């Protein structure tokens, strides 16, 4: 059986990503076996060329490198014994299944809190650190309704949209998970340390970074692939065209996940990225949580689907029979029903409240199919 801590040893090899490390593990089964392998044996492993094989050989024959590896493993074991932290590896049954399926899945995670159930749907909510009032309001509105349907909210604990998403989930008794670009002992930003503790009560804080790792800029792009990897889809709320949230969206697209975006003002650079996602067809335009839930293959929507249809009066049923997806003007509807426009507007307002009709600009109306 493979030593779980061998995954740490493999991860420290030069220029080794998760996929190559897993290929090496499948071929050699232990770090000791790898250390004894010759270059010709190494290049038999998928993804390992002669240059990389030479770098690995140089590392595993370097006593200083090997000492550093063993010191890191010993330090990790010691910290895990002292702290209430789970060390979840790619080899373990409780490793998140959604994450396991991505190309460059992390070999291991340090987890504070509770891992989500394998069948519990999750959606990532990401966006700018300098969120507008509109962006925060949209984030609260959508995350509130997502957690009401049993969806876990995944984000990165950053300032702005990330923080609003986590807090909104908690305020509405939902589950949320945060993915860090640093070690669990270096919560970033510092003002979110209390929020991180609150998240672990029902959710979890994840990282692939070892204890002591600082929130260096290089860590965050790799952190973003985990955010999307843990989720069924990614919702972007306010992002410039080169924002980190768009990188998360790109990871989601590469992983075959759905991407959603809230449209914003054409005059606000904070929405230039989200608007471009929608314009290009890379993301589905989102006006409410229902636009996301409609795309997720989850049972959580059944509670809405089982709601009884609204009770309509005879007059409302007659009006509804003339409405469909094509807009119909109030005057044309009045002529069809033999009712004055004034009386029709009163009845149509009641039908809007019941969710069966919707008014468009210019006093046009369409049928609305209730969820």
Q: What mean pLDDT do residues 45-62 have?
A: 92
**Which of these ranges, 220-224, 331-335, 356-360, has the smallest mean pLDDT?**
356-360
Percent with pLDDT over 70 in the chain:
95
0.75 exceeded by pTM: yes
Topology of the domain comprising 314-367:
Arc Repressor Mutant, subunit A (1.10.10)
What was the pLDDT predicted at 111? Answer: 95
Following CA atoms 107, 220, 212, 101 in sequence, which dihedral angle do they give, to the nearest 10 degrees? -10
Does residue 300 register a pLDDT over 70? no
Average per-residue pLDDT for the chain = 90
What was the pLDDT predicted at 302? Answer: 43
Does residue 296 register a pLDDT over 90? no
Q: How far is the C-alpha of 26 from the C-alpha of 40, rounded, in Å?
A: 17
Output 299 or 253, whichever has higher pLDDT.
Answer: 253
pLDDT band of 298, cuts 50, 70, 90: low
Task: Write phi, then psi, for 55 (nearest 5 degrees).
Answer: -65, -40
What was the pLDDT predicted at 299? Answer: 43
- Residues 191-227 pLDDT 10s: 999 999 999 999 999 999 999 999 999 999 999 999 9
Cβ pair 139, 109 in contact under 8 A: no
What was the pLDDT predicted at 148? Answer: 94
- Residues 68-93 pLDDT 10s: 999 999 999 999 988 889 999 988 88
Which two three-digit tokens encode residue 170?
């908690």
Dihedral sign of CA atoms 153, 158, 161, 164 in order? positive
Distances (CA, A) of 128 to 237, 271, 332: 7, 9, 46
Closest CA to 123 of 169, 88, 159: 169
Does residue 370 register a pLDDT over 80? no
**Which of these ranges, 43-52, 254-263, 342-351, 362-371, has the smallest mean pLDDT?**
362-371
pLDDT band of 55, cuts 50, 70, 90: very high
Q: Which residues contact 254 (CB under 8 A, 6 or more apart)?
A: 103
**Which of these ranges, 138-147, 226-235, 263-272, 299-308, has the smallest mean pLDDT?**
299-308
What was the pLDDT predicted at 368? Answer: 76
Domain ranges of the chain: 1-82, 112-301, 314-367
pLDDT band of 262, cuts 50, 70, 90: very high
Q: What mean pLDDT do residues 275-293 have?
A: 95
Does residue 309 register a pLDDT over 80? no
pLDDT band of 181, cuts 50, 70, 90: very high
Cβ pair 218, 146 in contact under 8 A: no
pLDDT band of 369, cuts 50, 70, 90: low
Architecture of domain 112-301 in CATH? 3-Layer(aba) Sandwich (3.40)
Topology of the domain comprising 1-82:
DNA polymerase; domain 1 (1.10.150)
Q: Which residues contact 105 (CB under 8 A, 6 or more apart)?
A: 18, 90, 99, 229
pLDDT band of 357, cuts 50, 70, 90: confident
Does residue 131 register a pLDDT over 80? yes
């Amino acid at each position: 059986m493979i030593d779980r801590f061998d995954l740490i040893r493999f991860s420290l090899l030069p220029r080794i990503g998760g996929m190559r490390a897993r290929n090496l593990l499948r071929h050699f089964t232990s770090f000791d076996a790898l250390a004894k392998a010759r270059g010709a044996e190494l290049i038999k492993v998928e993804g390992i060329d002669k240059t990389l094989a030479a770098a690995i050989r140089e590392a595993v024959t370097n006593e200083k490198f090997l000492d550093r590896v063993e010191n890191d493993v010993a330090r990790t074991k010691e910290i895990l014994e002292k702290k209430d932290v789970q060390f979840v590896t790619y080899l373990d049954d409780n490793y998140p299944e959604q994450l396991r399926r991505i190309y460059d899945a992390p070999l291991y995670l340090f987890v504070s809190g509770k891992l989500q159930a394998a069948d519990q749907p999750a959606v990532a909510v990401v966006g700018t650190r300098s969120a507008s009032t509109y962006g925060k309001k949209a984030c609260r509105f959508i995350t509130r309704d997502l957690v009401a349907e049993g969806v876990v909210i995944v984000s990165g604990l950053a300032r702005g949209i990330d923080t609003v998403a986590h807090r909104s989930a908690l305020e509405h008794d939902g589950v949320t998970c945060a993915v860090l670009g640093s070690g669990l002992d270096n919560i970033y930003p510092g003002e979110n340390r209390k929020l991180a503790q609150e998240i672990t009560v029902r959710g979890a804080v994840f990282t692939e970074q070892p204890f002591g790792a600082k929130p260096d800029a290089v860590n965050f792009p790799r952190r973003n692939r985990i955010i999307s990897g843990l989720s069924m889809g990614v919702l972007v709320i306010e992002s410039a065209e080169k924002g980190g949230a768009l990188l998360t969206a790109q990871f989601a697209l590469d992983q075959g996940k759905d991407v959603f975006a809230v449209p914003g003002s054409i005059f606000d650079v904070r929405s230039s990225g989200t608007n471009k996602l929608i314009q290009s067809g890379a993301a589905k335009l989102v006006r409410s949580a229902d636009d996301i839930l409609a795309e997720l293959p989850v049972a959580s929507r059944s509670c809405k689907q089982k709601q009884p249809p609204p009770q309509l009066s005879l007059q409302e049923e007659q009006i509804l029979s003339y409405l469909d997806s094509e807009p119909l003007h109030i005057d044309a509807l009045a002529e069809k029903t033999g009712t004055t426009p004034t009386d029709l507007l009163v009845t149509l307002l009641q039908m809007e409240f019941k969710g069966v009709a919707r008014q468009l600009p210019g006093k046009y109306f369409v049928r609305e199919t209730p969820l």
